[in-house]
Structure 1
Amino acid sequence: MSTTLNEQRNETSVPIHEALAQRWSPRGYDAEYVVAAEDLKALGEAARWAPSASNLQPTRFIVAARGTETFEAILGTLMDFNSAWTPRASLLIVAVAERERDGKRLRWAEYDLGQAVAHLSIEATSRGLHVRQMGGFHVDALRAAFDLAPVLEPVSVVAVGKLAEADDLPDLIRERDAAPRTRRPLEDLTIVRDA
């Protein structure tokens, strides 16, 4: 009998929005699932409407569906363990920050990009999808694969997909995805709290 990995509701100190409470980053994706065009467009819209310093929107994405040449090109730039589990993802998205425009440095580019990917992640969760962000990729190889201009900085690779049945996963991935989730206590995040 097949079993599904636990949806692992996060243990929060107070109730928070359901999509935030349910968000987590598995590696065990359903290798047959295809993200619907409407869902993909909604992920893009969520990213597009993220806050942006001076509304400069220095966020760019390379979006690739499993089975495409672009997906394979991204996959070829991933490091070690990331290259073992990502072929099962429905989508690979490269999150790129535009660090300069018209000769002017965009100081908040990576911050804005992070917000865009966070919004994308929450929209994905609200649609029953999962997202895992990775820093384990070869930046120069990725830059070369897509002939990125020097002002465009690849910051992360994002896997998107549907959770697989636990029995369909290799042992190592199943064990990692089933491990308990933890976070530092909320008090550890505050430098000064005067409220």
Structure 2
Amino acid sequence: MATERTLTRARTRLDVPRSQSRSLLSAYDPEAFGRLSERVARFLGTGRFLVWMTVVLITWVVWNTSAPPSLRFDQYPFIFMNLGLSLQAAYAAPLILLAQNRQDDRDRVNLDRDRRQNERSIADTEYLTREIAGLRMNLGEVATRDWIRSELQDMLKELEERQYAQLRAELRDGLPAHEEAVDAVRDQRDGGPRP
């Protein structure tokens, strides 16, 4: 009685593994059976299977119609052949359905993985789009080489005009001015010496 309580207590403890219960049915690997069904379904869907099946059926019919009556094993309504074909169809249909279910499961997993990959790609694309838009906005505030060149040309023209105006004012006021300097400034402004 004390040993039964000890065994009962030992079974309810979590740190003691349970003994494996023996079943009358042998254990089978569902994946192995699924792989076998896929191989069978793959073979049943080939031209090779159709050719071999046609050859067997033609041989069966020719043998049982033209062979001597003592060697014929299936008479005209070919009941044994029909039984064999029915058994084949009875086993082939569930195997094909099992293979299709496994393929559907794989397709579902692949679609889920593709959907997640597409979501990541869309998120990355949106992030890069925002970054490019931000760079374009910031680039609008950055001075480009062409803009600096045009600003410098404008400033140079303005300086030349000031220098030319100052020389003209000096000439008007009677200050000593060099006529050559006035001509040089005028030439630079106009784009070349006057004839």
Confirm or deny a common fold (TM above 0.5). no
Larger Rg: 2
TM-score computed with the length of structure 2 as normaliser = 0.15
TM-score computed with the length of structure 1 as normaliser = 0.15
Higher helix share: 2
Higher strand share: 1
Higher RCO (C-alpha 8 Å, min separation 6): 1
